[in-house]
Amino acid sequence: MKITKNIKFAVSTFVSLGIILFSFQFISFSKISAENNSKLIALTFDDGPNTTTTNEILDILEEYHASASFFLIGNNINEDSAVTVKRAYDMGCEIDNHSKTHSNMSSMDENKMLEEIEYVDNYVYEITGEYTKFFRPPYIDTSQEMYDVIDKPFICGIGCNDFMENVTSEERVETIISAAEDGLIVLLHDAQGNSQTVEALKTIIPTLQAEGYEFVTLTELFKRQGETPKETQLYSKVAKYPCKNYAIYKNIFSGEVIGDTSWNEWSSTAVFDGNELEALDNTYAIEVTYEGIYQPVIALQKWTGDPLFCSVQPSYYNGEKACFLASDLQKELNKNNVIYTDMNRICVIPYGGTMTLRNVDLLLKNSQDNLCGDVNDDGKFDVADIIALQKYLVKAGSLKNWKVGDLYTDERINVFDLCVMKRLLIQNK
């Protein structure tokens, strides 16, 4: 009788734990799905703090339940403005570093650079109990020595020249709203008296919120986009990796070459066939493995008829990998009223500075059927895939295509993927 009770207890416990696990997974999956579909923007403000404009901006952020990041100038922090900094921090905003004196730092020696950074860090720590996490170089003036000395990720962003009085609030609104995209970092200024930016925010924030955008701090932006900020990059956007559902179609270049923008050999290193890209239409992507402060770009070159030289920016880059979608190239071609086969050369080049190129792959988008947990690779998603995954988890079988079973998107197969797969199968039925 005692044994029977123990068995019943064990079964009951197992079932209860199973229910909890499945319930937890369903909640987690819903949260992850929502975050994957979210559109995030990081508002950032330079040249504060002060007790007027900074507080007016905080009032607007508070009204619309939005977060932002404030890059402080050390010489602007005093007993009064420190109260504003603390208010921003307590609201959930992030406090970051814009140097002590707002001077060009690329020509400074190491000790002077560190003095500029540490002054702000120490003052912010006194106010908030935390050091700053990000650095925006004054005038976006950078040097290799600055990247070597300053142990923070560098932030740039897309601005609207809101430091210029002749740029109206309406123009500021139009520039930011037209540039809005997931992962964008917006560069604005909360310098004392910048009332036109205050007015612009009253339109920018609710308009973009109505379009589904969420305003977050830089730390949250990186976290939710699945990226770890690097101290060797200058960020204006933090995009989600866009090529998860692509597979390698052809290797274009493999090896290692190093050069700056003036190196002539870029024109023959990683070159694409315009006819092939034309035939692949919107099903391809280009993935580049590289190392450098600046991202690679795709150069479109035409020297017959009306000459053309333009560069295509990647949808995604992180200092190690850059991805170009077919739509990125097509947009630039449409803009110049040309087609792939009009080009005399399509190749990878550096955007700026020196780049080390290691690999270039042409990718193809997987079919929709292959994106839905088809781990046994039979062209459909059904209970057979559930069985195959269960066998794999108890080490009684193998998977022909484990990547499409990574529904929890953590680069491995485990019980969480099984939970999501079962839920998706039930929903599909």
pLDDT digits (tens, 9 = 90+) for 141-179: 999 999 999 999 999 999 999 999 999 999 999 999 999
Q: How many helices and strands, by DSSP H and E, does the chain display?
A: 13, 16
Model confidence over 55-100: pLDDT tens digits? 999 999 999 999 999 999 999 999 999 999 999 999 999 999 999 9
Per-residue pLDDT of the chain (429 residues; tens, 9 = 90+): 334 444 444 444 444 444 444 444 444 444 444 455 689 999 999 999 999 999 999 999 999 999 999 999 999 999 999 999 999 999 999 999 999 999 999 999 999 999 999 999 999 999 999 999 999 999 999 999 999 999 999 999 999 999 999 999 999 999 999 999 999 999 999 999 999 999 999 999 999 999 999 999 999 999 999 999 999 889 999 999 999 889 999 999 999 999 999 999 999 999 999 999 999 999 999 999 999 988 999 999 999 999 999 999 999 999 999 999 999 999 999 999 999 999 999 999 999 889 999 999 999 998 654 455 777 877 677 888 888 888 888 887 788 777 777 776 667 788 878 887 787 777 555
307 near 345, Cβ under 8 Å?
Answer: no
Q: Which helix or strand (DSSP H or E) is residue 395 part of? A: none
Give the CATH fold of the 246-365 domain.
Jelly Rolls (2.60.120)
Phi, psi of 354 (to 5 degrees): -100, 135
User: The tokens 């508070």 sit on which residue?
Assistant: 62
Burial 399-429 (b: 16+ CB within 10 A, else e): bebeebbbbbeeeebeebbbbbbbbbbeeee
Instruction: Give the span between the Cα atoms of 414 and 396, in whole angstroms.
Output: 14
Rounded to a whole number, what is the largest CA-CA distance in the chain?
Answer: 93
Q: What is the CATH number of domain 368-428?
A: 1.10.1330.10
Distance of CA 158 to the CA centre of its chain: 14
* pTM reported for the whole predicted model: 0.75
Give the CATH fold of the 39-235 domain.
TIM Barrel (3.20.20)
371 near 245, Cβ under 8 Å?
Answer: yes
314 near 324, Cβ under 8 Å?
Answer: yes
